[in-house]
Amino acid sequence: MRRAETLPADRAAPGVGRVPIPGVRRIAFAAAGRRLLMASISIGFALLLWHLSVGTLFNPALVPTPEQTFSKAWRMMLTGELFMHVAVSMRRVLVGYAVGCVVGIAVGALIGRVRIVRELADPLLELIRPISPVAIVPLAMLWFGIGELSKFFVIIYATVIIVLLNTAAGVSRTPVTRIRAARCLGASEYEVFVKIILPSAVPYVLTGMRVALGFSFMGIVAAELIGASEGLGFLIMNSQMLLQTDQLFVGLLSLGVVGLVVDRIFRAVLARSMRRYMQFLGDV
Amino acid sequence: MNAGATHDRASNRRTRQWSALRFQHVGKVFADSRGGQYAATRDVNVSVRRGDFYCLLGPSGCGKSTLLGMVAGFDPPTSGEIVFVGDDAGVEWTSPIFAAGVDRSMIFQDAAEALFPWLDVEENVLFGPRLRAARARGYAGSATRYLHMVGLQDHGHKFPFELSGGMKQRVQIARALIMEPDILLMDEPFAALDAITKRLLQTEMSRIWQETGKTVLYVTHDIVEALILGTRIAVMTSGPEATIRDEIVVDLPRPRRTTDAEFVELVKILEGMLLEEVHKGRRAQGALT
């Protein structure tokens, strides 16, 4: 019984679904409240530990206190410097990510649909997959210099591979029965692809897009660490060279906060717009 | 006769009234994994008359579903052919089956895979009509009548994951009927349901068949089910090289009661035939029963 409860919803017994029950909204609110409470406790506790450890466990020259970090962040916000770095990094990520998703979905759908293409592409993809976006940075610098293009290249690479693999998997795993059912209902090859195979692949595509978003953030920092004059990666690298540990911590924390916010926005948008394609899988 | 005269390509429908669906020496050979060949069925001759509720009854693995898939047009036979035949003023014509089409609607055993999970019940049922309407720039019509027919009138806006197994099969039946196909192909549609739900749906299917007068080709390994539903039952031999062993006509009045003496008598006869086939199949494979 315990084991069944930990299974994701799509593995649950067939025919068992979520039926609207009165009061379910209140339960959802209570659950959200509890999550918020727990988050506050854990973050508050971590801040307290951090505060107490500086000067006792850690050398204050290497680890700033939370107060120093937040006051530095506040000052950087007032001058607009922090926002500038965040905006530059975000722009690079979003442009590269958008291009990467479009390319990944288009090529992935082709690979998933056409068997011969899949068989030819698979070995190459298996080979490329372990090469992380970070490892691509030096090559990007060599080819495209230190300008924006090299940053886009790294992000596009980080996004394309993941989105492509997931899209291909989703497309090729569309149940044969579902395709046959559509054929019996008069669907042409094109209609089967657009109205059956693509919707069937949506959960896979979105999973890939979400993972790719995380990869993009890793990629952008790596790219900015090496050759950039603005952006969060640059901020972090620069702080290290100037021994400004408070600023370095501001950079790291900003990265965490921005990544979290973007992921939450992604999930919120996804939960709304793609709900009908995801709901049978349980929570998004 | 050539196919063009009997088949309208645009609507994918036969233009003339057919009188039977005929299997002529139909066989299917698969390539097995070791490069050899496996003959699933051989020399199957069946004639399903218009309006029949025709049951293909046979032991597991005898190629019943393969035959149904051939009628649906998923996978062509390797020998023989399946044709619609008709009669025009004494001149017989035949019209062979090509690819899958709206004139033959399949109801699959696995409803969870056959339904489109991102569409609600009504949208699933209207999937076919909407495709047609989009092409002809016309109106798709309403699903109400067909939802009523299968008892889902109050569940039109539920999604498949919210439905029980029996309700999912009701959706499939409505979705097939709304296409007004020449023939309904049903592949053990109730096999995965619990006993009570199964019996309920069999009774309803019998009623729906009476109401609509549709021709049904129904695959099952369940003797009682075949006798509740069928006007005619073809008993198949066990595979490999499965073929038709016997065909019986069932003219018991409907709704049929499983406890009637005549019904029980027919169960015994069919059970005898099936058991013999199962034993033969086991002996052929050198396995114990």
β B91-96/B79-88 pair status: antiparallel
pLDDT at A276: 84
For B3-103+181-285, which CATH superfamily applies?
Answer: P-loop containing nucleotide triphosphate hydrolases (3.40.50.300)
Contact B108 A180 (CB under 8 A): yes
> Are A206 and A197 contacting, i.e. CB atoms less than 8 angstroms apart?
no
* Residue A178 to chain B, least CA–CA distance (Å): 5
Query: Which positions of chain A have pLDDT values less than 70?
Result: 1-25, 280-284
* A142-147: Cβ within 8 A, 24+ apart: A145/A227, A146/A227, A146/A228
Residues of chain A with Cβ-Cβ distance to B117 below 8 Å are 280
Paired tokens of B65: 């579903």
Residue A179 lies in a domain: yes
Least confident of B6-10, B91-95, B99-103: B6-10
pLDDT at A23: 64
pTM, 2 dp: 0.82
Query: What is the spatial distance between Cα B49 and Cα B63, in angstroms, rounded to a whole number?
Result: 21
Residue A51 lies in a domain: no
> Are B64 and B277 contacting, i.e. CB atoms less than 8 angstroms apart?
no
Residues of chain A with Cβ-Cβ distance to B165 below 8 Å are 14-15
Residues of chain A with Cβ-Cβ distance to B106 below 8 Å are 180-181, 184
Contact B131 A183 (CB under 8 A): no
pLDDT digits (tens, 9 = 90+) for B145-186: 999 999 999 999 999 999 999 999 999 999 999 999 999 999
- Domain tally for chain A? 1
A75: amino acid identity, one letter = R
In the predicted model, what is the mean pLDDT of residues B69-79?
A: 92
- Residue B15: which residues within 8 A CB-CB, separation 6 or more? B5, B6, B7, B8
Distance from the Cα of residue B45 to its chain's centroid: 16
Residue A13 lies in a domain: no
Angle of helix B165-177 versus helix B195-212 axis, rounded to 10: 10
Query: What is the spatial distance between Cα A33 and Cα A17, in angstroms, rounded to a whole number?
Result: 25
Q: Which of A14, A180, A276 comes nearest B112 by C-beta? A: A14
Chain B: residue nearest A274 by CA? B118
Query: What is the spatial distance between Cα A49 and Cα B25, in angstroms, rounded to a whole number?
Result: 82
pLDDT at A105: 96
Looking at per-residue confidence, does B61 or B45 come out higher?
B45
A89: domain CATH number?
Answer: 1.10.3720.10
DSSP classification of residue A38: H
Report whether pLDDT(B13) > 70.
Answer: no
pLDDT at B6: 58
- If pLDDT is split at 50, 70 and 90, which confidence band does B125 have? very high
User: Which single residue is written with the structure tokens 């009188």?
Assistant: B19
Chain B: residue nearest A11 by CA? B161
pLDDT at B7: 57
Looking at per-residue confidence, does B283 or B26 come out higher?
B26
pLDDT digits (tens, 9 = 90+) for B231-247: 999 999 887 888 888 89
Interface of A with B (CB under 8 A): 14-15, 17-19, 175, 177-178, 180-187, 191, 195-196, 199, 202, 276-277, 279-280
Residue pairs between chains A and B whose CB atoms are closer than 8 Å: 79
Chain B: residue nearest A192 by CA? B131
If you count them, how many residues does chain B have?
289
- If pLDDT is split at 50, 70 and 90, which confidence band does B9 have? low
pLDDT digits (tens, 9 = 90+) for A47-58: 999 999 998 989
Looking at per-residue confidence, does A2 or B52 come out higher?
B52
pLDDT at B269: 93
Residue A33 lies in a domain: no
Distance from the Cα of residue B198 to its chain's centroid: 16
Distance from the Cα of residue B141 to its chain's centroid: 26
Residue A74 lies in a domain: yes
ipTM: 0.89
pLDDT at B135: 84
Residue spans of the domains in chain B: they are 3-103+181-285, 112-180
Residue A234 lies in a domain: yes
Report whether pLDDT(B288) > 60.
Answer: no
Residues of chain B with Cβ-Cβ distance to A201 below 8 Å are none
Report whether pLDDT(B12) > 60.
Answer: no
Beta sheet of B53-57, edge-to-edge order: B104-107, B183-187, B215-220, B53-57, B232-236, B244-249
pLDDT digits (tens, 9 = 90+) for A144-189: 988 899 999 999 999 999 999 999 999 999 999 999 999 999 999 9
User: Structural domain of residue A147, as residue ranges?
Assistant: 68-281
